[in-house]
Amino acid sequence: MSQGARYSSTTSITLAAGVSVERLTPPSRLFGANGLRTGADDRIYVAQVAGSQISALDVGTGDIETISAKGGDIIAPDDIAFDSDGNLLATEYMDARVSLRGKDGRTRVIRDDLPGANGITVHRGRLFVNECRVGGRLMELPLDGSAPRVLQDNLPMPNAMEVGPDGLLYYPVMGTNDIWRIDPDGGVPERVAGDLGVPDSVKFDAAGFIVSTQVQTGEVLRIDPRTGDREVLARLAPGLDNCTFVGDRLFVSSFTGEITEIRAGGETREILEGGLMWPLDLTVGPDGTLYLADGTYLYVLRSGQLHQIASLFSPGTPGYVRGVTAVGPDELLCTTSTGEVSYYRQGPDAQTKVVAQGFDQLYGVVATADRMIVAAELGTGRVLSIRSGEVSVLASGLNAPMGVAFGPDGTVLVSESGAGRIVAISGGGVDTVVDGLETPQGILVRGKQLLIVDVGLKALIAVDLETKARQTLAAKLPVGAPPGIVAKPLRGTPPFSGPMGPFAGITAGPDGTVYLSADAEGSVLALRFAE
């Protein structure tokens, strides 16, 4: 692993005889990249919502140190700031909290009643926070935990903010696509610039100009706060989140985990390579193309390179995708974290057709040739059948169902991750097919063999559906939470997503290659079997 990788292990993957493994994508070093702030040590501190982690990046060496780890006291940090004593303050977007992590490593919660807590900045010992939600507030938070002083309310999704050289507090509003300012002591807000590319951060350069990332267009803008005039410093991919300066050097973050330096004349330099935040489910199209769901993005993998085919910001997007299965040329069936089951047709005129919605934490999905859909609904413990928009319940009362597959005879098989077993669903009820597992997630049927990704055992297990004989094909896989870590639930970021959760998917290509989501390290593995 690279120094500072998000997942490390002292042991390598172990394989059964005749099995080989290849990483098709390199491990990701971060769980995406959201809020950025430069510390007194000139390192860039990076908040990672999906990984519940804060890391410090040395832009000179590329080394990364984990400051607040997954499973720790800070959950889903979205933006960060430092006070004059060097304490780190973080907004926990999904948990409605603002926390302070002292230089001694101890963390305390300042407030836990700020839904959508996001933008955060400290000015002359005063802490300011806003809520990135429809109807969000902009407020000053006393560090002693007493009641906030609201500067403005009913804002449509404000985000990362900063006090300018003029002493006014500048903040972007994503819902109205503009940037505003207000006196920190209160008063009437003033619009600074509008008709932007959905601004999600505001910082200031040494000359007193606003620098703002645009999440929808991927532009990095420099804006004169006096006139509103703007220039484009760089054009990157959509999904930019924040920016910071190290001296006079400008760096921006992307949801993919990429950190990019913006230089004069529009030149850019990748400081930290982006990668997969999870990944989640996988599927292979009729032509052998491998597709990956990574929540915010849908990818296709070609010649070892990831190519985005959809994102939260693209036209016709299916949304935050978790489960995916190919149902035809250029057509995918998706489940989303917002509770929708949809068909997505990619291409220049990409479009999404929702066939059913209103579900609680959908995961795996499969379909028959005549488009009868089966999906696992973890939140309610149900397995659903959907045909022509009509929903019926095949099974209920299951303990965290996740993966679904059809058996050789068409029986629906489900991984009951909370119960450590695989069950078959038929008209007679639910029957155990495989037990004694720990946390099974993705499942795949190949002939009379069932393949199971067990993230608790960190293993790929094969079970003969006739004899019930089982074999561990691969062990010590980089799936699930890192060793010794118990990940805390991610409640989601409405309206972008519902509750987020990992899902180590599995699929196979026409040549028999098995593809697996190594979600712990953020890579895709290919397993091949000797004849």
What confidence tier does 486 reach under pLDDT thresholds 50, 70, 90? Answer: confident
The radius of gyration of the chain's CA atoms, rounded to the nearest angstrom, is 24
Across 376-388, average pLDDT: 95
**Ordered strands of the 19-23 beta sheet:** 19-23, 523-529, 514-518, 506-508
Provide the Cα torsion 316, 502, 278, 42; round to 10°: 110
What confidence tier does 492 reach under pLDDT thresholds 50, 70, 90? Answer: confident
Q: How many CB atoms lie within 10 A of CB 247?
A: 9
Provide the Cα torsion 376, 51, 484, 1; round to 10°: 110
Q: Are residues 214 and 324 in the same domain?
A: no
**Tens of pLDDT, residues 18-45:** 999 999 999 999 999 999 999 999 999 9
List, in sequence order, every residue forming a beta bridge with 97; answer none if it has no partner: 92
Tokens found for residue 57: 């990046």
Q: 511: number of CA atoms within 13 Å, CB side?
A: 11
Q: Are residues 324 and 251 in the same domain?
A: no
**Tens of pLDDT, residues 353-374:** 999 999 999 999 999 999 999 9
Q: Are residues 268 and 298 in the same domain?
A: no
Q: 198: number of CA atoms within 13 Å, CB side?
A: 15
Tokens found for residue 311: 């994102």
Does 494 reside within a domain? no
CATH code (residue 199): 2.130.10.10
What confidence tier does 3 reach under pLDDT thresholds 50, 70, 90? Answer: low
Tokens found for residue 459: 């293993």
Q: Are residues 325 and 374 in the same domain?
A: yes
DSSP state of 488: P
pLDDT tops 90 at residue 141: yes
Across 377-387, average pLDDT: 96
Q: Are residues 298 and 357 in the same domain?
A: yes
Across 298-303, average pLDDT: 92
pTM: 0.92
DSSP state of 93: G
Q: Are residues 364 and 229 in the same domain?
A: no
Cα separation, 424 vs 446, whole angstroms: 16
Handedness of CA 69, 74, 78, 81 (dihedral sign): negative
How confident is the model at residue 2, as a pLDDT?
41
Residue type, 500: M
- Which of 272, 290, 311 delimits the end of a domain? 272
Cis preceding linkage at 495, omega within 30: yes
Chain position carrying tokens 């926990």: 92
- Which of 246, 272, 298 delimits the end of a domain? 272
Across 74-78, average pLDDT: 95
Q: Is 375 exposed, middle or buried (0-12, 13-18, 19+ CB in 10 A)?
A: buried
Tokens found for residue 27: 């491990």
Q: Are residues 298 and 266 in the same domain?
A: no
How confident is the model at residue 1, as a pLDDT?
36
Does 365 reside within a domain? yes
- Per cent of the chain over pLDDT 90 is 87
Cα separation, 402 vs 366, whole angstroms: 12
Q: How many CB atoms lie within 10 A of CB 153?
A: 11
Phi, psi of 93 (to 5 degrees): -55, -45
8 Å CB contact between 251 and 261: yes
How confident is the model at residue 10, as a pLDDT?
65
Does 359 reside within a domain? yes
Q: Left (φ > 0), alpha (ψ -120 to 50) or beta: where does 478 sit?
A: beta
Q: Are residues 290 and 167 in the same domain?
A: no
How confident is the model at residue 489, as a pLDDT?
80
Tokens found for residue 56: 């410090």
DSSP state of 29: S
**Tens of pLDDT, residues 105-125:** 999 999 999 999 999 999 999
- Which of 272, 292, 309 delimits the end of a domain? 272
pLDDT tops 80 at residue 428: no
pLDDT tops 70 at residue 408: yes
**Tens of pLDDT, residues 148-174:** 999 999 999 999 999 999 999 999 999
Does 5 reside within a domain? no
Q: Are residues 262 and 297 in the same domain?
A: no
* CA distance between the termini of the chain: 31
Domain count, the chain: 2
Does 201 reside within a domain? yes
Does 93 reside within a domain? yes
Q: Are residues 78 and 43 in the same domain?
A: yes
Query: Which is nearest to 415 in space by CA: 456, 387, 372?
Result: 456
**Tens of pLDDT, residues 431-444:** 999 999 999 999 99
Q: Are residues 258 and 287 in the same domain?
A: no
Strand blocks (E) in 83-146? 88-92, 97-101, 107-111, 117-123, 126-131, 134-141
Cα separation, 529 vs 514, whole angstroms: 9
Q: 314: number of CA atoms within 13 Å, CB side?
A: 23
Query: Which is nearest to 478 in space by CA: 148, 6, 7?
Result: 7
pLDDT tops 80 at residue 343: yes
Tokens found for residue 457: 């055992």
**Domain encompassing residue 520:** 282-488+502-529
pLDDT tops 60 at residue 219: yes
8 Å CB contact between 35 and 79: yes
Chain position carrying tokens 């909370």: 418
Residue 59, SS3 per DSSP: coil
**Tens of pLDDT, residues 255-288:** 999 999 999 888 999 999 999 999 999 999 999 9
Does 1 reside within a domain? no
Q: Are residues 237 and 316 in the same domain?
A: no
pLDDT tops 90 at residue 398: yes
How confident is the model at residue 347, as a pLDDT?
87
CATH code (residue 440): 2.120.10.30
Does 22 reside within a domain? no
Provide the Cα torsion 136, 139, 143, 147; round to 10°: -80
Residues 6+ apart with CB under 8 A from 105: none
Cα separation, 70 vs 30, whole angstroms: 11
